[in-house]
Amino acid sequence: MKKLFLVIGVLSMPFLNAQDITDALRYSQQDIMGTARFRGMSGAFGALGGDLSALQINPAGSAVFLNSYGSMTLSSTSIDNDSNYNDDIFFNGFNNNSSSNLNFNQFGAIFIYDYFNEESSGINRISLGLTYDQTADNADELLSFGQSRNSIDSFFLEEAQGVPLNLITRRAGESVNELYTFLGETEGYDAQQVFLGHETFIIEADDLDNPNNTSYFSNIAPGRFDQEYYYESTGINGKFTLNLGAQINQDFYFGFNLNSHFISYDRVTEFFEENNNTGSNINQVLFTNRLSTSGAGFSAQVGGIAKVSQMLRLGASYESPTWHYIEEETTQRLETFSNADGRAIVNPNVINIFPEYELRTPASYTGSIAILFSQRGLISLDYSYKDYSSIKLSSDFGNDFSDLNADIDTNLHGASVVRIGSEWRNGNWSVRGGYSFEESPYKNDFILGDKNGFSVGAGYSFEKFRFDVAYDYVEQRRVERFFPNSSFNNFAVVDSYRDTLTFTLGMNF
């Protein structure tokens, strides 16, 4: 069936899922991704360089290369999610979901111009880099189920109170699509939710004969409810980088990045509820929501590396905030079933297209130290800091994000990241290992826990080529709220485990 397209103007919508803290964080954080060598050391490359993905941390790393170099990386990731259902009364329903995906997550090249006199002062080497790095893998899947005393009817009742009955009642000859579109254009996303709930008989007006009625009750009787929540997301975030670096006076390296970012995120959620409660006119509810997000942004980085001695290197870098421009589309479908009256389905063939908004992510500061043991091996440490309370949303279309920005300021804080890595060589062979710790950006780390990870890897060099492989493992706990910011506050506690095999082929030229 041909779909109608709806463009909504000025919005103030707490239930547009991409415009909440959780999703603002998704576009503000970067995972440890990139080449196998980089991942094998858990990304601790801020004072080292000499790897294309090291430019993510410190752009001065390009000038450490002795010759032009290119690489391409392929990763296979497995995701395990252990979910425990929670409704603030019960804590029940354990389930495990496993999924996997394959991505080309890095490619690029560094071109070295090394024709300066190495004995002279000033610039000894110039580097020019063009790279692509995946910065986040948005693929995820979970299924959570359990029994609750809270019904999804509270989601629709909360929005309905104060809404006139005649606003959400179809006129003679008016279709579901037409009224859903009209409400989106004139009243916004919240009014659409009230219409869906009323049209499927979840909620009913206290006075059906009064078109100005503004109070509603539920057709779902209280009691116990069997509930399931399914979540699946796909997509990646990434950036293309133009890098310029230089070696100065033999012992200093300087670099600068211009980054072009992109966001691709698609999510579908399905919530199912069933009851056999006495007096309940609605016995089943299935609510499906789809969200599609795309965005583009830009940022800049600057950094330096100093050879303090043959054994010691220090690095420092700064990444500016990223200014993302984001667009979103949603579709919805609501289905109910009554043991007495049968099935009701509302499936608006309408895509809600929301106005573009701007997301400014935090700046990042990194300090690094590396100890080199001649050509035998090295140990490296990076420390990074981001103030997530500085995340800001804004719009050129008059959207008011003041409440959300205030929530971000209240609930988020500055967070630290520590990465430790080591590499040891024997002839053409290298072995690597690393550990990473990322502090939760939430003041209440029950919402999102600290992230811990470790990695191992190996590499082999032959003639002009180098082949590297790495395995890394990351775990983190989070709360997955089914309908954020609503009075229906059921959620799942999810323990997420990701392990990745990464393969990189590099070549000197």
What region, left, alpha or beta, does residue 88 occupy, with left being phi > 0 and alpha being psi -120 to 50 degrees?
Answer: left
Q: Is 474 helix (H, G, I), strand (E, B) or coil?
A: strand
Q: Is 186 helix (H, G, I), strand (E, B) or coil?
A: helix
Q: Where are the beta strands (DSSP E) in 392-442?
A: 392-394, 414-426, 429-438
How much is the pLDDT for 120? 61
Instruction: Show pLDDT as tens, one digit a residue, over the chain (509 residues).
Output: 334 444 443 333 433 434 688 888 999 988 889 999 999 999 999 999 999 999 999 999 999 999 999 999 999 999 999 999 976 555 577 888 889 999 999 999 999 998 666 556 688 899 999 999 999 999 999 999 999 999 999 999 999 999 999 999 999 999 999 999 999 989 988 999 999 999 999 999 999 999 999 999 999 999 999 999 999 999 999 999 999 999 998 899 999 999 999 999 999 999 999 999 999 999 999 999 999 999 999 999 999 999 999 999 999 999 999 999 999 999 999 999 999 889 999 999 899 998 899 999 999 999 999 999 988 999 999 999 999 999 999 988 877 888 899 999 999 999 999 999 999 999 999 999 999 999 999 999 999 999 999 999 999 999 899 999 999 999 999 999 999 888 898 999 999 999 999 999 999 99
How much is the pLDDT for 341? 87
How much is the pLDDT for 296? 97
Phi, psi of 37 (to 5 degrees): -65, -45
Q: Please state, in angstroms and as integers, the Cα–Cα distance from residue 447 to each residue in 440, 441, 481, 494, 495, following that order.
A: 9, 10, 9, 10, 12
The domain defined by 4-151+220-508 carries CATH number 2.40.160.60: yes
pTM over 0.85: yes
Q: In the chain, where are the structural domains located?
A: 4-151+220-508
Q: What is the DSSP letter of 412?
A: B
Q: Where are the alpha helices (DSSP H) in 73-163?
A: 153-160
What whole-number distance in Å separates Cα of residue 242 and Cα of residue 261?
12
How much is the pLDDT for 89? 57
The answer to whether 53 and 135 are in contact (CB under 8 A) is: no
**Quick count: other Cβ atoms within 10 Å of Cβ 102?**
10
How much is the pLDDT for 122? 83
